[in-house]
Amino acid sequence: MKDILEEAGSMSEEITAWRRHLHEIPELGLETPKTAAFIVQELKKMGVGNIREKIGGWGVAAVIEGALPGKVLAIRADCDALPIKEETGLPFASKSGLMHACGHDAHTAMALGAAKLLLANRDKLAGTVKFIFQPAEENVQGAKAMIDDGVMENPAVDAVIGLHTGCLWKEIGPGEIGVRFGSLMAAVDRFIITFKGKGGHGATPHLTVDPVTMTSTAVLELQTILSRELSPLDPAVLTIGRIEGGRAFNIIAESCTIEGTVRTLSPETRAFVEERIRAIASRVAEGMRGEAEVKYESGPPALINDRDFTKKFQEFAAELAGADKVKEISEPTMGGEDVAFFLEKVPGTFFVHGSCNPEKGQVYPHHNPKFDIDEDTLPLGSALFAGFALNWQK
């Protein structure tokens, strides 16, 4: 265990250089050609021969086969950035108007480090490790696109592991590891409801069918799904983020639209909330002589860590880094992560890699133009990935 951590430590400068290069070339969504080209270039330099490119866009997969028989573990690293103008002042800061403000540059660098470690220890590796370098996590399109394009096959993946770096959970400090059994992050859904009526003059509302009134009523009634129809112990969020309707103060509009998001931690609650949104919107509209058109878009499911697999990882991490460095996360977040699509297919775990260090001024949250991480924590991530791949089947 300690050997792999020491090996990773000896690669610190290289892993950091990878992270810094990626930080300088942020790309958005599924369109990450420069990032993909760099990943492939570095994998080939190491001697990885089994590489597949342009999966579901610009996704990359690389396969390392061990000398011993065994199962297939996928290590997933997301690699896209955000449309944020960087304000860190770092010498390797992005100048493109885009930014790695969520740590995906670090995720990719740590996965590359793990690949190099596994190549050096291939004689001890049972089974196969498939590295999945995924674009478009921020718009939650990349995981599904890669799965639809066959990334989980040839060879078929038996389990998956991934991490999120930074300070999403304040109780996980720099160089610490956070684990959670069961739900860690929420399902992310989007809905758009258009209320349709009959427009007219504001002075003669009795001759119209007012969609703004329908909308106003529905916005309040939709909140009763959470406050009166779900158990207070069943976490869910329903947020209306946009209301659009009308053109002038004295005109009753033909239509009015609301757009929002639903976040849930269980598949059953997710299905229930969708059904109730549709029913309430239709009932409110019909009760006011109008119509409601409901579009409901299901995003990533809830991120649910497999209990047995997570326990195995927790025990491994404690042995590698020390039990005092491994903490159980007390509460999930209602934020989402499309690694959930992979965890829906096979068992696995998604853990937290603490890397914000207040002593170094790294106090800014994710998606902030001043977000940064402590690069001294990067070798730990590589060691966790590689070490677990070497030990998970024992």
- Quote the CA–CA distance of 339 and 161 in Å, as a whole number: 9
Instruction: Please say if 105 is a catalytic residue.
Output: no
- Quote the CA–CA distance of 162 and 129 in Å, as a whole number: 13
- Quote the CA–CA distance of 169 and 305 in Å, as a whole number: 16
Three-state DSSP state, 56: coil
Return the amino acid letter for 145.
A
Please list the residues that pair with 289 across neighbouring strands. Answer: none
Instruction: Please say if 137 is a catalytic residue.
Output: yes
DSSP code per residue over 273-288:
HHHHHHHHHHHHHHHT
Inter-CA distances, 100 with 117, 169, 259, 333, Å:
25, 19, 28, 21
Candidates 185, 178, 160; CA nearest to 385 is 160
- Taking CA 16 as the corner, what is the angle to CA 11 and CA 22, rounded to the nearest 5 degrees? 130
- Residue of 27, 42, 78, 137 marked active site: 137
Rg value, the chain, Cα: 24
Three-state DSSP state, 103: coil
- Quote the CA–CA distance of 134 and 343 in Å, as a whole number: 14
- Residue of 80, 86, 158, 189 marked active site: 80
Inter-CA distances, 344 with 140, 198, 340, 348, Å:
15, 45, 6, 9
Catalytic residue ranges: 80, 137
